[in-house]
Structure 1
């Protein structure tokens, strides 16, 4: 055999030929060092491995088979460290477990496109297989002179040391047989090793094909490639293919080597012609894609629209989208104009549709804008605080404390102060309860709204009936568990009183840096959240919280480091059993785990359930807090009360129904009166009991249709069907 090295052009920056090994056609191989030889083995052979290192990091094996008289590669076996990948035309396994594609794990990417299966490893090599006869391996130069296998030793010198053994030139068959992969009970036979090295001359019987092959490879259309890749070895391979074919009209006889020459031209930085015709070596592409001999493998898609502009991979053949289009990888509609791309987030959105989450609004092509949404301060389970800026801390108080002292955002808006009463729960050493919330409008002690843990609402010590409206303030039942306070000056408060009192205070962004107290500064800076009234930033939650006592006669509270679960094994077992629902992959909470991390809520749940006198009440309060956090992120949890906390769901008054997603502000007949219609439904869905859609709660506590509602006028209820005179008008 005459061993012909490929001509390399060192001036071409993008010439990758010297780091590429390939096999194609019936039995052709090209080593990294440029030798082209034929090896007809049909067993499993090592294509490449880093055999000269003390530890074998990787290896690539191939096995050929005959199909319809033509050779094909039946599978690849790639080993990296402890991972074994078996790659066939239709499936991929990792350590014998089938995996879906694309596969991205442990520094390995396995992708499947219209033309190739591509295996890429961060170790430093890439394998591409056209699912038929051709495999290409590209390797980093770090492995120079460190490889073995049919791809050679990658030392940059042709022939040496692949085909020289103990000073003797060996045949390609002997060289190939050295790299057979031996498996138990494998009876595959090696091809016969000749005693003499045959000379690579074209036999007389095959010379009739020489002119045909030369005319193809030396034609003008291939001239740019011939300047980069010496065509002689490919002409010889073409002749052998044609000579070995029983049916010379078979495309495979000539197409395989011509395809390889085209690929090598691309690797060398050239531009092969689009030589395929409908009746000659044609390739079919899915959808409306077109086959090109040399295109960017980084195809723009609807989800990655700038991939090609950032691509560093060299060009290759394959199926590509026509110019001006991108591939629709969302609805799999083929190649479409970029303007027609959809987007996907849980479901598919057409261009122009809007998806909103948290403080961002997502449009059809993910053109994002930041929304001026309110920030929320929360007091949960009586001792867990979350500030407007998102800082969390724990404090077990015993006094009235200033949650937020808010300055006016403009001349028209009032100042106001929010006070929370924290007290130790009855008979409990570790338990703290939120007892009441007070709102001082314009910091006037004679203008106070108060909410208590039993659901009572008072103004200036006088109990008021809901719905209630006064000036810029509306107060109403969002459900039997929740009371909503809405204002027209940017404050909204959600008061939960079942099973425990929990409070969520929301302020518009216009109040940034205009508030102080346990809810923080609302200045988007976490480092100064714990600032005292004197402007000192404290380091502990207890010192910070004590500084905001509304009554300085109250004693300061010290940090608690005790574990309440240590006092009762029974409570600890109960807490761990039920709190585990928050982190269980099979519970109703599981669908939210990727959006809201349940770990913090799980720890709260264990502590609160162990410390609480009514363990189930505290457990359910934490579950409710997590459900609300999920609702803030757009995930509405339902059915989480089915196995626990169902006492509250089953205790609805007659004619009312339980729901996890109440979001109506007008739930009573009284709320329908004209002077009470100023509330809005722009609050998070809440759970609890209320009248079903289309029904309203009358003054007797029954759900009735609107036509059976009493009217409310001038402080009095007027029965349905009754008429009255108002300012000379008869109603």
Structure 2
């Protein structure tokens, strides 16, 4: 996020406010974008682009008969198909029709629509001078169509006339006052410290210079203007003393505090009265780290760390090291290395076994040691609520009051989250959580090894089951990955359902894991779905938005009394209200109880069929237990 005005590339791109609700983007190569929220955008391009453009605005070749070309160079005669062909971005498959809250019925029928829209063509009307130069007939037709779509909403007429007004004014043609004659309000509502003008400046004085920052070449426009004695500060009009400061190429609001320096060595504040920035030496606390979070650079609380095991199995350590280890024994994934730290102790183990007789493995059991209890029914609370265990969607969760969270999706996905307090004191296959990925392969003896097999084997937990410590140099390879790469491409596609997640979770490692697993399985659809679901789960764990990705072949069949949701939660919908307080509030995809039902273990039941929570343990209804 950058405050306006802004000058990029030594004047190659300039962006500034032209009014309270409008902005302009100008380029040194002649392309200009003008937007006036919420409904008007105008783009101009020089003749040097003749015949080279594409999109809803056409190709700029001077021939209006060939405007409807698709990105694939197919000429259509259907406007809807043409427009749909240019859908772009992550939301292209999930667009929704706008829902303007305009009250319908002000104008009753088509004849009224035509009558009021035709004010644009009246020879003695407010648009008379403009209509002699710019034919309004297409604008009138668009206006009538808009009124039909909105069932005669007055605001629809006002927006259509406003659009024609700005078009006329941007071409240097005067427009008379038109709002009172059309019931659009002679003085429309404007924000604080502003007033309406039919022909106000498009080059308003703005912060922080208290003048227009560039040479003004724009015509006047109708809209809300700052009152005398005020200047534009973003989308608000303020006294000059309410302006902010420019610092290191960025505009800061008055009173805004921010960090500066490569390691956050300075804490700065903007003095709105003088326009100066004052910085004092400072640093992040031990509980903080200097980095960019939500587009803001500075000291932020140390983030939790996440370790995962997925597929056959692919590991990601707390510090982001990706590696494969195919051992089929029981191994320590994460534990506290130094019990003298004063932190609550925990240990998470996982047991793997060979997958379909191959020399690769999958996780089949997870052991979480925080309380020493064994239970059959879920949910349950242990140690006076310090530990809760419950199921939601396709996962089993173990959650503690000290921040440890373990989720297991059944052989394919295991996630361990530890709080920042454990930074530098964990060990196991998940690593030491010290922010350095180059020392993750530390054995229990403290030796740093290079081999993933040697590292993984060092964390083996002895038991009586036969097992081996990986395939070494004999791991199976899949020679032809063409099909699997094509199938897995959805994970990293910039136009796909996960593209909004890419900035939160790098898709490349998940894509490579998917290719390996799917190819090794012979391109099995169930393996593909689980691989994609692994990335979907990682996205949702980071609160990233994803969009529907399952097709009929990979759709989840839900048990009785439940249904599939892409982003659902059982929080507040279980038989145990005690569990709800600690349940995972980030959504996940899976099966959730139908309306009016709640989760009882693995079933969805009516509230009167709920069991009982006794001494932290959940018992199904009509179950007899001896104490």
The structure 2 residue matched to 1:469, chosen from 378, 381, 386, is 381
Q: Does 1:523 find its partner at 2:476?
A: no
Partner of 1:619: 528
| Aligned ranges 1:257-406 → 2 under 5 Å | 285-286=201-202, 289-290=204-205, 300=207, 325-328=231-234, 370-406=300-336
| Equivalent pair of 1:588/1:639 in contact (CA under 8 Å) | yes
Partner of 1:507: 418
| Equivalent pair of 1:398/1:557 in contact (CA under 8 Å) | yes
Return closer, same or farther for 1:635/1:95 CA change in 2, 3 Å cut-off. same
Partner of 1:652: 558
| Equivalent pair of 1:476/1:665 in contact (CA under 8 Å) | no
| Aligned ranges 1:111-510 → 2 under 5 Å | 285-286=201-202, 289-290=204-205, 300=207, 325-328=231-234, 370-407=300-337, 414-429=344-359, 431-441=360-370, 447=372, 459=374, 464-471=376-383, 472-479=386-393, 481-497=394-410, 500-510=411-421
- Once the two structures are TM-superposed, the CA of residue 608 in structure 1 deviates from its matched residue by 0.7
- Once the two structures are TM-superposed, the CA of residue 477 in structure 1 deviates from its matched residue by 0.6
Q: For 1:540 and 1:323, how far apart are their aligned partners in 2? A: 70
Partner of 1:546: 457
So what's the TM-score if we normalise by structure 1? 0.46
Number of matched residues?
390
Name the SS of the counterpart of 2:405 in structure 1: strand
Name the SS of the counterpart of 1:565 in structure 2: coil
Name the SS of the counterpart of 1:389 in structure 2: coil
State which structure, 1 or 2, has the greater radius of gyration over its C-alpha atoms: 1
Q: For 1:687 and 1:474, how far apart are their aligned partners in 2? A: 21
So what's the TM-score if we normalise by structure 2? 0.53
Query: Residues 95-124 of structure 1: CA distance to partner in whole angstroms, max 9, x if unpaired?
Result: 433599xxxxxxxxxxxxxxxxxxxxxxxx
Partner of 2:597: 695
Q: For 1:324 and 1:362, how far apart are their aligned partners in 2? A: 33
- Once the two structures are TM-superposed, the CA of residue 434 in structure 1 deviates from its matched residue by 0.8
Query: Residues 299-324 of structure 1: CA distance to partner in whole angstroms, max 9, x if unpaired?
Result: 75xxxxx8x69xxx998567999987
| Equivalent pair of 2:441/2:452 in contact (CA under 8 Å) | yes
Q: For 1:384 and 1:658, how far apart are their aligned partners in 2? A: 27
Return closer, same or farther for 1:710/1:420 CA change in 2, 3 Å cut-off. closer
Name the SS of the counterpart of 1:625 in structure 2: helix
| Equivalent pair of 1:563/1:607 in contact (CA under 8 Å) | no
Return closer, same or farther for 1:494/1:693 CA change in 2, 3 Å cut-off. farther
| Equivalent pair of 1:360/1:370 in contact (CA under 8 Å) | yes
Q: For 2:601 and 2:457, how far apart are their aligned partners in 1? A: 44
| Equivalent pair of 1:477/1:483 in contact (CA under 8 Å) | yes
Partner of 2:38: none
| Equivalent pair of 2:425/2:433 in contact (CA under 8 Å) | yes
The structure 2 residue matched to 1:564, chosen from 454, 474, 477, is 477
| Equivalent pair of 1:474/1:486 in contact (CA under 8 Å) | yes
The structure 2 residue matched to 1:636, chosen from 545, 550, 571, is 545
- Once the two structures are TM-superposed, the CA of residue 441 in structure 1 deviates from its matched residue by 4.0
Where relative contact order (Cα < 8 A, 6+ residues apart) is larger, the structure is 2
- Once the two structures are TM-superposed, the CA of residue 641 in structure 1 deviates from its matched residue by 1.2
Return closer, same or farther for 1:516/1:424 CA change in 2, 3 Å cut-off. same
- Once the two structures are TM-superposed, the CA of residue 503 in structure 1 deviates from its matched residue by 0.9
Q: For 2:620 and 2:443, how far apart are their aligned partners in 1? A: 50
Return closer, same or farther for 1:317/1:361 CA change in 2, 3 Å cut-off. closer
The structure 1 residue matched to 2:506, chosen from 575, 597, 608, is 597
Query: Residues 201-247 of structure 1: CA distance to partner in whole angstroms, max 9, x if unpaired?
Result: xxxxxxxxxxxxxxxxxxxxxxxxxxxxxxxxxxxxxxxxxxxxxxx
- Once the two structures are TM-superposed, the CA of residue 695 in structure 1 deviates from its matched residue by 2.2
Structure 1 stretches lacking a partner, 5+ long: 1-76, 79-83, 101-282, 291-298, 301-305, 342-350, 353-357, 450-458, 720-731
Q: For 1:563 and 1:384, how far apart are their aligned partners in 2? A: 15
- Once the two structures are TM-superposed, the CA of residue 359 in structure 1 deviates from its matched residue by 11
- Once the two structures are TM-superposed, the CA of residue 580 in structure 1 deviates from its matched residue by 2.1
